[in-house]
Amino acid sequence: MKFLQSVGNEMPSAIIADIGCGNGKYLKVLPQNVYGIGIDFSENLIDIVQRRKLEGLVGDALVAPFGDDSFDAVISIAVLHHISTQCRRLEAIKELIRICKSYDPQSNVCGRILICAWALEQEDDSKHQFDKEDVFVPWALDKKYVTPQFWEKLNQNENENINSQTKECPSDQSNNNNTALPSMALIEDPLKNVITFQRYCHVYRKGELEHLLQTVAHVVNFPSDPNSHKLPKQFRVEVLRSFFNKGNWCVEIRKLDVIKKKKKKAQILKKIFDSKFLAIKHKC
């Protein structure tokens, strides 16, 4: 992947996070001077990652188990289209930005983020053709993998998915689709040795990823979005490029800094009063 190679060229000894790493497809092809770690919600996929002698752990893309400004680069490939509400998509994007490093004036380098998700607009020869944004896509699984433990884990994940989608989030006038949706539907064919799951996907129109980005961050090289300007922004970022690649819309950004909240006058005065009171008390 060109993005990974460019990170290695720009930032030798860089550390990359792959959020939603699957079986470690991209962790396998990192440049030799780049270290990577991935997280995925699937324990089975993380088992594959670890058997491949790669770094991976079970985690949630909406609550990444990493500190602020931890990584030189962050990738999210084929993850956002599986997230079924606007609120959760915004949370996922905020997490990608949060864990990425801000601009470092000493090295003159910014942390970089690449996000790719399925596009509504597909090439004519694509095996996937979509007529709307919210769709179910067939996924066949060999029955030998469908054990009682599998069903138990699937039901647990589905309940967690529905419950977590009920959280409140800031309204976004352009798209208020925050209705909880099932992540899978099931079709079983007794004549075949597979079970076909209909996996939920939200496919993205041209410009939709950039709009989500503008909802959670101040994009310095984009005009302000009238539908999101009232929402609090936590970060300043710059879009380096937006592009279409093999049925996916992608956006590459760099994180400039974190927007610090202005303290209210009353809070500042209280802090001054408290410090003076403690000083007087200490003297007494």
Q: For the chain, what is the domain count?
A: 1
Place of tokens 């995925």: 40
What is the reported pLDDT for 92? 96
In a domain, 167, yes or no: yes
41 assigned to some structural domain: no
Asked, for residue 229, whether it belongs to a domain, the answer is: yes
Per-residue pLDDT of the chain (284 residues; tens, 9 = 90+): 799 999 999 998 999 999 999 999 999 999 999 999 999 998 989 999 999 999 999 999 999 999 999 999 999 999 999 998 999 999 999 999 999 999 998 888 999 999 999 999 999 888 888 999 999 888 777 766 666 666 666 666 555 555 544 444 544 444 445 554 445 555 555 556 777 778 889 999 999 999 999 999 999 988 876 665 566 788 999 999 999 999 999 999 999 999 876 555 556 555 655 565 555 555 55
Task: Report the interhelical angle of 208-216 vs 86-99 (nearest 10°).
Answer: 70
Helix and strand totals (H; E) in the chain: 6, 11
- Residue 35 forms part of a structural domain: no
11, 44, 186 from 151: Cα distances, Å: 44, 14, 12
Q: What is the helix (H) or strand (E) element at residue 271, kind and residue range?
A: helix 265-283
Query: Is 54 a domain residue?
Result: no
Beta strands 194-202 and 134-142, pairing class: antiparallel
Give the position of tokens 């005065």: 269
- The pLDDT assigned to 163 comes to 52
Specify the pairing of strand 111-118 against strand 248-258: antiparallel
Say which DSSP state 119 is in. B
The CATH number for 151's domain is 3.40.50
Domain extent at residue 138: 60-258
- Within-domain flag for 235: yes
Examine residue 23 and state whether it is found in any structural domain, yes or no. no
Task: Tell me how far CA of residue 161 lies from CA of 62, 83, 154, in angstroms.
Answer: 11, 9, 10
Edge-to-edge, what's the strand order for the sheet holding 184-188?
134-142, 194-202, 184-188
pLDDT for 166? 46
Q: 129-132 long-range contacts, Cβ below 8 Å, gap at least 24?
A: 130/203
For the record, the structure tokens of 88 come out as 């959760």
Q: Is residue 55 part of a domain?
A: no
pLDDT at 231: 67
